[in-house]
Chains A and B, each alone.
Chain A
Amino acid sequence: MRITQGTFSFLPDLTDEQISTQVKYCIDNGWAVNVEYTDDPHPRNTYWEMWGLPMFDLKDAAGILFEVNECRKAFPNHYIRVSAFDDSHGVESLRLSFIVNRPSEEPGFRLEREDLRGRSMRYRLHAYATDKPTGQRY
Chain B
Amino acid sequence: MNEPGPAKENQLAKDATDQVSVDLQQELRTAHIEEVLEKLDQELVGLKPVKTRVRETAALLLVDRMRKKLELASETPTLHMSFTGNPGTGKTTVAMRMAEVLHRLEYVREGHLVAVTRDDLVGQYIGHTAPKTKEVIKRAMGGVLFIDEAYYLYRPENERDYGQESIEILLQVMENNRDDIVVILAGYKDKMDRFFHSNPGMRSRIAHHVDFPDYTLEELLAIAKLMLAQQNYRFSPEAEASFIDYLKRRTQLPHFANARSVRNALDRARLRQANRLFASNHPITKLDLMTIEAEDILASRVFKEGKLDSDDVRADEADPAQVSN
Query: Can you name 7 A-B residue pairings with CB atoms under 8 Å?
Result: A59-B143, A60-B109, A62-B138, A62-B141, A62-B179, A63-B141, A66-B134
Tell me which residues across on chain B come within 8 A of A66, comparing CB atoms. Answer: 134, 138, 141, 177, 180
Interface assignment of B110: CB less than 8 Å from any CB of chain A: yes
Decide yes or no whether B112 CB sits under 8 A from chain A: yes
| Majority DSSP secondary structure for residues of B touching A | loop
B142→A67 contact, CB < 8 A: no
For A60, the closest partner residue in chain B by CB is B142
> Cβ of A63: which chain B residues have Cβ within 8 Å of it?
137-139, 141-142
* Inter-chain contact A55/B142, CB cutoff 8 Å: no
CB closest chain-A residue, reference B114: A59
Further contacts, 13 of them, CB under 8 A, given A55-B138, A59-B112, A62-B179: A57-B139, A58-B138, A58-B139, A59-B110, A59-B142, A59-B143, A61-B142, A62-B141, A62-B177, A62-B180, A63-B141, A66-B138, A66-B141
CB distance from A86 to the nearest CB of B (A): 21
Q: What residue in chain A is nearest B131 (Cβ atoms)?
A: A52
Q: Could you give, for residues 166-197 of chain B, a 1 whenever the CB lies within 8 Å of some chain A CB and a 0 otherwise?
A: 00000000000101110000000000000000
Bound Cα distance from A66 to B180, whole angstroms: 10
| B134 CB, nearest partner CB in chain A, Å | 8
User: Bound complex: CA of A57 vs CA of B112, how far in Å?
Assistant: 12
Query: Distance (Å) between the CB of A137 and the closest chain B CB?
Result: 27
Chain B 106-134 interface residues, beta-carbon cutoff 8 Å to A? 109-110, 112, 134
Q: How far is the CA of A61 from the CA of B179 in the complex (A)?
A: 12
7 nearest A-B residue pairs (beta carbon) = A60-B142, A63-B138, A62-B180, A62-B141, A63-B141, A60-B141, A59-B110
| Chain A contact residue count (CB 8 A cutoff) | 11
Point out which of A55, A61, A66 has the most chain B C-beta atoms below 10 A from its C-beta. A66
User: A59 to chain B: which residues have CB within 8 Å?
Assistant: 110, 112, 139, 141-143
Contact call B139/A62, Cβ cutoff below 8 A: no
| Cα distance, A66 to B181, chains bound together (Å) | 12
Alpha-carbon distance between A62 and B142 when the two chains are bound, in angstroms: 7
Bin chain B's interface residue count: 10 to 19
| Chain B residues numbered 274-295 whose CB sits less than 8 Å from any CB in chain A | none
Nearest CB on A from B106, distance (A): 13
Partner of B180 from A57, A60, A67 at Cβ < 8 Å? A60
Chain B minimum-CB-distance residue to A57: B139
- A59 to B112: give the CA distance in the assembly, Å: 8
In chain B, residues 137-179, which have Cβ atoms closer than 8 Å to a Cβ of chain A?
137-139, 141-143, 177, 179
Within 8 A of B (CB), among A84-120: none
Residues of chain B contacted by A58 (CB below 8 angstroms): 138-139, 141
A61 to chain B minimum Cβ distance, whole angstroms, is: 7
Most chain B CB within a 10 A radius of its CB, from A57, A58, A64: A58
Contact with B along A40-73 (1 / 0, CB 8 A): 0000000000000001011111111011000000
- Docked CA distance A64–B141 (Å): 10
Query: Closest CB-CB distance, B146 to chain A, in whole Å?
Result: 15
A36 to B109, CA, bound (A): 26
Chain A residue nearest to B180 (CB atoms) is: A62
Bound-state CA distance A22–B306 (Å) is 62
Please give, as numbers and ranges, the residues of chain A lying within 8 Å of B143 by CB-CB distance: 59-60
Q: Which B-chain residue is minimally distant from A63 (CB atoms)?
A: B138
Q: Which residues, 216 to 251 on B, are CB-close (under 8 Å) to A?
A: none
What separation, in Å, do the CA atoms of A62 and B141 have in the docked complex?
6
Question: What residues on A are CB-neighbors of B138 within 8 Å?
Answer: 55, 58, 62-64, 66-67
Bound CA–CA A58/B143 (angstroms): 10
With most chain A CB atoms within 10 A of its CB, the pick from B112, B137, B141, B143 is B141
Residue among B137, B142, B143 facing the most chain A CB atoms (10 A cut-off) = B142
Distance from B80 Cβ to chain A, minimum over Cβ atoms (Å): 16
Most buried by A among B109, B179, B181: B109
Q: How far is the CA of A58 from the CA of B140 in the complex (A)?
A: 8
A88 to B181, CA, bound (A): 30
Complex formed: what's the CA distance from A57 to B141 in Å?
11
Give the docked Cα–Cα distance between A132 and B81 (Å).
52
- Nearest-neighbour CB distance to chain B for A55, whole angstroms, equals 7
Question: Most chain-B CB neighbours within 10 Å: which of A58, A60, A66?
Answer: A60
